[in-house]
Every structure is written in structure tokens, then in C-alpha cells.
Structure 1
């Protein structure tokens, strides 16, 4: 990636701000990170109403989440169902659940290096 390129923004569903430790449907805050050749840097948090409502998903809340994460390239989460995964990917956001309970920054850097 050229050094003058804008960093990629990615969202992380995390309870403790250290690990990728939350299910997508239970997240009410997403940590946003900027990724580039220099590494991963925390940028901000974005609050949303969590999507999962006791076994089913609230479509209106999922649409708000999609708009909230629209500028993100990927969403890192401990777990995600097939329906939300498909909706994210249709919106151009890659759902990444390959690093459950991994430390955030090393996991993001590993994913970025493999792109």
C-alpha cells in the first residue's frame, strides 16, 4: 500500500477495549481503529443500540449499525450470524471472526498484513 494512502478504518466489537470479545448482536459500542503500514491505532468509539433482541434481530437497529459503520472496511467480532454477515458484506464491510478473543491491535495488524 502506498504511504500516502488513507488508513483503512475497521470496527471492533469489544467489551474490554483489549480483546475482540463480543458477539456482533450484543455490541452497543464499536471501537474504531485506523490501519496502515505503520500499524493499528485507536481512533474513536461509536455507540449503537445492540441488534440482538433475545434470539431475533431488530432490522431497524441493524440498519442504524450499517450506517454507523459505513466508512469501515471491516468489522472484527468474536461471533456473527449468517444474516448479519451477509448484510454487512452487501454494504461493503467485511465481517471478520477469525480472531475471537484475540488482542485487538496484533489481530488487526495480522489481518492487514494478509490483505
Structure 2
């Protein structure tokens, strides 16, 4: 099943301070109320310590929890670059695939509000991230592979 509708928020004010991209499995863009595999839609936010911005909402047709792995491919591609996806539940195969691409699945109670999850994530960023969040932040840092070339060309003297 492919995406049936997609909203992307464009902003002239590109915010370089957005540290994390996180997704929420939601049917109403207010609360987390969907199982990952059969989610009707995902809301994706850019989050930093002080702000959260809606980046995109993608909707899918009706999906069943049927063990059909093919339906996961487009969702995994959609969530590429997200450090986490908050959902009501997530199957073992989907968990493995999400972790392999660097997206941490986070199980929350049905009806948990997205705004609560964002506030909790921001609080965690302020107080010091948990192990998975620290790892996600490190993976988002852009490392220039040639950063030491200039120093090496100068040579080494003791």
C-alpha cells in the first residue's frame, strides 16, 4: 500500500537548530493511536530543545495487521532520517528493520498526545539524553571525512 496523501511544510526560515526528526503513528495528528504496521498516517516533526515544527504528514490507505512485510518498505523509506517513531505497538520484524536504519521504535499507551511526547523529548534533551537518544544525536552529526587532510598535509614534527 502506498502513500495516498502527503503534506510537507515548507518554510523559508530553514532552522539549523532542529536536532531531531521524530515520527508519530497517528490517525488524527493529535495523539499516538496507531500500530506501526497498520498505521493510517504518520506526522513527522523536527524537534530541538526549545521548539518543535511539523515537517510532514503522510497518509496511507487501510492496512491490516496481516504479517505482510511488503507494506513496511514504503513506511521505512518515509521514516528514513527519523531518530524515533512513536507508536502504540510494533511487530518484531518491523522493530529489527527500524533499528537497522537508525530509527528507534518507541511504544506508548494508546491515546498519548503527540504534544506530551514532544515535551517529554525536549525535557530529556535538556536534562541529558538517555542512551538511545544520545546515540541518535551522535548519528545525526555530520562528519566531514576530509577534516584532517589539511593537518596531515602539513606533516608532523615533534
TM-score scaled by length of structure 1 = 0.81
If asked which structure has higher relative contact order (CA below 8 Å, sep 6+), I would say 1
Per-residue CA deviation, residues 35-69 of structure 1 (Å, 9 max, x unaligned), is 1111323222123466x54531x222212211111
Counterpart residue number, 2:39? 27
Structure 2 gap ranges (5+): 1-14, 130-158
Cα separation, partners in 2 of 1:81 and 1:73, compared to 1, 3 Å: same
Aligned residues: 111
Pairing 1:12–2:24 present? yes
The CA distance in 1 between the partners of 2:48 and 2:65, in whole Å, is 37
Structure 1 gap ranges (5+): none
The CA distance in 2 between the partners of 1:21 and 1:110, in whole Å, is 18
Cα separation, partners in 2 of 1:22 and 1:53, compared to 1, 3 Å: closer
Residues 1-115 of structure 1 aligned to structure 2 (within 5 Å): 5-48=17-60, 53-56=64-67, 58-114=68-124, 115=129
Q: Compute the displacement of 1:73 (Å).
A: 0.9
Cα separation, partners in 2 of 1:95 and 1:73, compared to 1, 3 Å: same
RMSD of Structure 2 on Structure 1 (CA) = 2.2
Cα separation, partners in 2 of 1:49 and 1:64, compared to 1, 3 Å: farther
SS in structure 2 of the partner of residue 24 of structure 1: coil
Task: Compare CA radii of gyration and give the structure with the larger one.
Answer: 2
